[in-house]
Amino acid sequence: MPAAARQNATSRTDPLPAATPPKRRAGRPASAVLDQAVITAAALRLIGKSGYDGLTMAALARSLDVAPSALYNHVTSKRDVLVLVEDHLAALVDVSAFGREPWNEAVRRWAWSYRDVFSKHTPLIPVIAVLPVTDAPQTLAMYETVSAGLRKAGFPEERIISSIVALESFIFGSAFDVTAPADIFDPGSMAESTPNFTAAVQSLAEQGHEKPADIAFSLGLEALISGLGALRN
């Protein structure tokens, strides 16, 4: 049957001849297409292109030219994918200043780097914040470096974790700020009923040429560093 004739066929019960490009078939291939590293890389690519809204199991599978269900052979849930991404990002956080610089400078660099990395990935924060370290080796490695640095700086052992948690909490919260719209503090029609707030916003706007989120981060970070440092041995 010529192609022209086929166009006019009104009923066909036989399976369509595969006009689509040769799909991989089921079954064990020479070497498996998927593994966690491949999935992580694809997820990062997808997030970079379409943001976290674009990160769906379906889109992820599509980008790997694979059925969505295939992902579940390597990952137990979408949350798992997020954990993989998170741990990958943790390795990008710069802890190199520990052991090279004084403790307070090392913390400063670490904190800025940490904030910068995760401000581009704020949807991960609710996941990280409650994630057992066991599930994220790179993250754990980061904690180890920071712990060693604080210990060497004379932080009392029993206050090391709390100090890290306090810093990290501040960092996570600040990561959200980075993504806030510029006019977030515009009181609009409520300006008259909030004179103190309105004046403070105005004053900040006139003052700073730096980004507000950076000013606040610097302010809080320096306060934390000196406050925590005061409690060393």
**Going residue by residue from 68 to 107, which x/- string records binding to DNA, judged by CB under 7 A?**
xxx-xxx-xxxx----------------------------
**Which 21-40 positions form the footprint of a second copy (CB under 8 A)?**
none
Using CB under 8 A as the binding rule, whether residue 224 contacts a second copy is answered as: yes
Tokens 């399976």 label which residue?
15
Binding map of DNA across residues 169-208, x = CB under 7 A, - = no contact: ----------------------------------------
- Look at residue 131 and give the partner it binds from DNA, a second copy, none, a contact being a CB closer than 5 to 8 Å depending on partner kind: a second copy
Q: Which does 56 bind (CB under 5 to 8 A by kind): DNA, a second copy, none?
A: DNA
Nearer to a second copy, 42 or 98 (CB): 98
Q: Which of 37, 208, 211, 232 binds a second copy (CB under 8 A)?
A: 208
The reply to whether 216 sits near a second copy by the rule CB under 8 A is yes
Which range touches DNA (CB under 7 A), out of 66-74, 125-133, 171-179, 221-229? 66-74
Report residue 101: phi and psi, to 5°: -120, 165
Q: In 101-132, which positions are buried (b, 16+ CB within 10 angstroms) versus exposed (e)?
A: eebeebbbbbbbbbbbbbbebeebbeebeebe
DSSP string, 103-151: HHHHHHHHHHHHHHHHHT-GGGHHHHTT--GGG-HHHHHHHHHHHHHHH
Q: How far is the CB of 18 from a second copy (least distance, A)?
A: 39
Over the range 208-231, which residues count as b (16 or more CB within 10 Å of their CB) and which as e? eeeebbeeebeebbeebbeebbee
- In the shown chain, the binding pattern of residues 139 to 178 toward a second copy, with x for contact by CB under 8 A and - for none, equals -xx-xx--xx--x-----xxxxxxx-xxxxxxxxxx-xx-
The CB-of-164 to a second copy minimum distance in angstroms stands at: 8
**Measured from the CB atom, is 79 or 232 closer to DNA?**
79
Residue ranges in contact with DNA by CB under 7 A: 23-30, 32-35, 55-59, 61, 65-70, 72-74, 76-79
